Amino acid sequence: MAKKSIHLKTDLPIDMTPMIDCVFQLIIFLMISVDLSQQDLEDLKLPEVDHAVPDQNPKKNRPIVNVDQEGRLIMKRRTLYDPTKDQNRIRFQIQLRNIARAMEHKMDPDVKMELPDDPLLLRGDEFTDWYHMAKVMEDCGLKNIMIWKIQLAVAESQEAKKRNEALLKKMSGH
């Protein structure tokens, strides 16, 4: 009698879960890597206003100066000036000068000089004394810096949020 061959009939379903998981992990990893620019933003409570322009698609490498309640100047997680420790603001001014040098310059018809044409984003806590912000602006106006375009970082107020949401609803309804 011929030996009966054992034929293992096994269905092997391919488990897609690990692959999907890995894909998600990769997507999220890439999202975070791209979002590394957010490390420029210190954890500050920005003032809320009603009519701010959303800060969408800012220019790459736009300089961001964070000013906390104590007047510390922080750029890319580095404290460049601490009023309680530093005697002067030279470290911050040198940094600003390097940033201004790297900016695109344009001839200004009013003052007949080449001036940096890129803006600087100034972020402060809502209860930061304006004095500290004004000092940063003073530094921006120094010789070899001359940054004159400033953007003040703000947050959207609850009232504005509701208004914008209602507007979006209205638009999607049409």
Partner 1 sequence: MAKRKRERPGTDDEAVADMTPMIDVTFQLIIFFMLQKFKTLEGKLDAFLPKDVGVNTSSAKPMEKLDVHVFLLKKGSWTKKENRKIWKGRKIWWKVQDRSYYSKQAFEKGLKEFCKRMRDPNDPSHPLPVTLHAHKGVFYGEVTKTVDYILYSGFEKVTFAGGYTK
Residues that bind partner 1 (CB under 8 A): 17-18, 21, 24-25, 28, 31-32, 35, 38, 41, 45-47, 49-56, 67, 69, 108, 110-113, 115, 119, 121, 124-131, 133-134, 137-138, 140-143, 146-156
Of the CA atoms within 13 Å of residue 102, those in its CB half-sphere come to 11
Q: How far is the CB of 161 from partner 1 (least distance, A)?
A: 11
Q: Are residues 105 and 86 in contact, defined by beta-carbon separation less than 8 angstroms?
A: no
| Nearest CB to partner 1, comparing residues 105 and 137 | 137
CB of 135 to partner 1, least distance (A): 8
Cβ of residue 167: shortest distance to partner 1, in angstroms? Answer: 15
CA atoms within 13 A on the CB side of 6: 2
Count of CA atoms in the C-beta half-sphere (13 A) of 25: 6
- Give whichever of 2 and 53 is closer to partner 1, judged by the CB atom: 53
Report which of 130, 146, 165 is spatially closest to residue 47, judged by C-alpha positions: 130
State the minimum distance, in angstroms, from the CB of residue 13 to partner 1.
Answer: 15
Closest to partner 1 by CB, 102 or 159: 159
- Report which secondary-structure segment, H or E, holds 17: helix 17-34
**Contact by Cβ (8 Å): 150, 140:** yes
Nearer to partner 1, 2 or 43 (CB): 43
Tokens of 118: 């890129």
